[in-house]
């Protein structure tokens, strides 16, 4: 499919360019039938209320029902949300997603007694149960629940919290609809043709070599955010306040700890990341100095930080070519890995191209029994979409291998680990492209792209993480949240990370109102730690050819806490940050020497 300047409708896409959701449900009717069946049985778990300590058999029956129902509801939610992401404007798809969330909320309410009752059991009784071989499949979640003991509320309180889950994501949903559907950014003239300006096309337009195109796209885009800034600020305020509320009622010291505790990640890991990235900011500022020099501009503006610095390199990867490159780049991971990935392409794991109403960005979404689906908004021009394809494929292969090598109860790895799998694939792609393009210009282009990938994944995401921490801490200390507070706080961070070299228009601080991940608090730091850890894995893999440490890490799924899983493969956060910041500096040095020679 050739990239068009106008956005097609869903019906105009070829079938082979869309994903096949039938590994979840054969049809909408099949989904409706399963929804009806689950609605009819969602209260069955209640018959075990007050009985978990009655006998081992009852204990096991309750766990069997709990996890089998969750496995089924996982598919219900996935199908509804994936279908909705195809067209956020379709009311039937939106309704289906709401039905799925309602079912999930009611099930959560019906089963809300489970954890409080389990952790209230005498430790001797739980230990007795765990001695039986039949309970071993549930050992991991039982231990995790026992660990949460001091933060779990009473049965009645947990039920109240479960009942409000359907509404807890209202701010996030409103943000998504507002920014993906209601907000209209107009068109931009590019090479004599009008191109739709959208959330997905903005980055592409900011990479245009015509500075006027970049400037016009930037200000036209943020003009629409300016028009909705008060609404967006109110939505984000609600999201932050909800995070703080949940942490307080569970007696966590902070909302950040509330988020990190489940993964057994110390807050010191978060702080260390920010400190170490601050230490590396001089290298980042040196890159912006080089960027200004190479672009030949008097002042480097915020809309100049994404354009490739090598204007004489024309790069285009139609989707089929991108798949071919992906398989070659991933070859160090072994024949089995690549053959599974290739079959996934053929089996339509991927929804490839942008269409009207489709969710922007990219993601991977899997269930235990389905394909690990990938949503893209693929563009052939440039190299960003190629890297995004490898990134999401890393997530999907992690899901595939974790499901294949674990039970349902232990297959689900953490988001902290997920970003390692995705960014390692990007590392392999960078390596493959660098060593299979003899042109000096192309090598410089690829090194520039590698630097930009570090900037976007390690530095930028750490800046986001720092913003989240500052905002949540401010709210927890009784500070008021407002548009002015958000934009002033964000502007200070922009100035810190970009330095004096980059000119920041007033509207630059509105960027804090357009980051979807801010509605999943304390998520983005995992991108930065992920690329750092994947640097360790990639360096070892490419130097030794031994892919077993990394593949074993993927196959372990959720059998243990993420730092334990990493440690079993020889990776620590300190070592990872050392290697990642060192590689960034070395890549910048290589790029600078080649670029200045040109």
Active site residues: 392
CB 425 within 8 Å of CB 329: yes
CA distance 337 to 270: 32
Q: Three-state DSSP class for 368?
A: coil
Distance CA 451, CA 284 (A): 9
| DSSP code per residue over 146-174 | HHTGGG---HHHHHHHHHTHHHHTHHHHH
Bridge partners of 301, per DSSP, are: 503
Contacts within 8 Å (CB) and 24+ apart, 21-27:
21/79, 21/82, 21/83, 21/373, 23/369, 23/370, 23/371, 24/75, 24/78, 24/79, 24/82, 24/367, 24/370, 25/75, 25/79
Full strand arrangement of the beta sheet holding 373-375:
350-351, 373-375, 363-365
* DSSP summary character for residue 504: -
Are 474 and 488 a contacting pair, CB within 8 Å?
no
Helix or strand run (H / E) with residue 301 = strand 300-301
Q: Which residues contact 343 (CB under 8 A, 6 or more apart)?
A: none
SS3 193: strand
Q: DSSP of 564-577, one letter per residue?
A: HHHHHTT--HHHHH
Element (H, E) at 227: helix 211-227
Three-state helix/strand/coil letters over 122-143 = CHHHHHHHHCCHHHHHHHHHHH
Full DSSP string of 449-491: HHHHHHIIIIIHHHHHHHHHHHHHHHHHTT----HHHHHHHHH
Helix, strand or coil, per DSSP, at residue 373? strand
Query: What are the CA-CA distances from residue 430 to residues 138, 348, 383 (Å)?
Result: 41, 25, 11
> CB within 8 A of 318, min separation 6: which ones?
2, 380
Cα–Cα distance between 378 and 324 in angstroms, integer? 15
Q: Is residue 75 classed exposed, middle or buried when 0-12, 13-18 and 19+ CB atoms within 10 A define those classes? A: buried
Q: Are 214 and 202 in contact (CB under 8 A)?
A: no
Q: Are 121 and 53 in contact (CB under 8 A)?
A: yes
């Amino acid at each position: 499919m050739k990239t068009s300047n106008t956005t097609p409708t869903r019906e105009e896409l070829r079938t082979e360019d869309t994903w096949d959701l039938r590994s979840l449900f054969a049809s909408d009717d099949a989904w409706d039938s399963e929804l009806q069946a689950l609605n009819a049985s969602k209260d069955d778990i209640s018959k075990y209320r007050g009985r978990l300590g009655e006998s081992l058999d009852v204990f096991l029956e309750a766990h069997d029902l709990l996890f089998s129902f969750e496995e089924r509801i996982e598919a219900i939610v996935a199908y509804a949300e994936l279908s909705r992401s195809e067209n956020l404007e379709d009311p039937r798809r939106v309704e289906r997603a709401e039905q799925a969330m309602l079912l999930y909320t009611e099930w959560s309410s019906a089963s809300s007694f489970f954890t409080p009752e389990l952790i209230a059991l005498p430790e001797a009784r739980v230990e007795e149960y765990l001695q039986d071989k039949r309970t071993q499949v549930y050992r991991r979640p039982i231990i995790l629940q026992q660990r949460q003991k001091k933060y779990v509320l009473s049965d009645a309180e947990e039920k109240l919290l479960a009942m409000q889950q359907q509404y807890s994501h209202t701010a996030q949903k409103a943000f998504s609809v507002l920014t993906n559907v209601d907000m209209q950014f107009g068109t931009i003239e590019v090479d004599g043709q009008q191109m739709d300006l959208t959330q997905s096309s903005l980055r592409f337009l900011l990479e245009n070599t015509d500075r006027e195109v970049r400037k016009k796209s930037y200000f036209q885009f943020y003009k629409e955010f300016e028009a909705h800034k008060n609404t967006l600020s109110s939505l984000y305020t609600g999201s932050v306040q909800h995070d703080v509320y949940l942490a307080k009622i569970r007696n966590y010291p902070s909302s950040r700890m509330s988020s990190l505790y489940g993964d057994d990640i110390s807050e010191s890991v978060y702080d260390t990341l920010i400190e170490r990235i601050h230490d590396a900011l001089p290298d980042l500022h040196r890159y912006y100095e080089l960027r200004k020099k190479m672009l030949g501009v008097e002042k480097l503006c915020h809309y100049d930080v994404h354009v490739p610095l090598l204007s004489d390199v024309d790069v285009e990867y139609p989707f089929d070519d991108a798949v071919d490159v992906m398989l070659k780049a991933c070859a160090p991971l072994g024949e089995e890995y690549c053959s599974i990935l290739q079959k996934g392409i053929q089996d339509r794991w991927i929804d490839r191209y942008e269409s009207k109403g489709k969710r922007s960005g990219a993601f991977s979404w899997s269930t235990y029994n389905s394909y690990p689906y990938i949503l893209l908004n693929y563009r052939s021009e440039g190299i960003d979409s190629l890297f995004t394809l490898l990134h999401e494929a890393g997530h999907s292969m992690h899901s595939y291998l974790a499901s294949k090598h674990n039970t349902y109860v232990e297959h689900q790895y953490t988001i902290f680990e997920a970003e390692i799998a995705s960014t390692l694939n990007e590392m392999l792609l960078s390596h493959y492209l660098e060593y299979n393009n003899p042109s000096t210009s192309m090598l410089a282009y690829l090194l520039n792209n590698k630097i930009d990938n570090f900037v976007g994944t390690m530095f930028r995401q750490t800046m986001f993480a720092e913003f989240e921490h500052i905002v949540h801490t401010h709210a927890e200390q009784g500070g008021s949240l407002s548009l002015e507070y958000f934009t002033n706080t964000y502007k200070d961070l922009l100035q810190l990370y970009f330095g004096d070299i980059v000119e920041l228009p007033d509207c630059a601080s509105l960027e804090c109102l357009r980051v979807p991940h801010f509605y999943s608090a304390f998520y983005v730091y995992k991108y930065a730690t992920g690329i750092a850890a994947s640097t360790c894995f990639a360096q070892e893999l490419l130097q030794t050819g031994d892919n077993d440490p990394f593949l074993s890490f993927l196959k372990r799924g959720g059998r243990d806490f993420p730092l334990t899983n990493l440690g079993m493969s020889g990776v620590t956060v300190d070592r990872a940050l050392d290697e990642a910041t060192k590689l960034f500096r070395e890549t910048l040095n290589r790029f600078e020497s080649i670029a200045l020679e040109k």
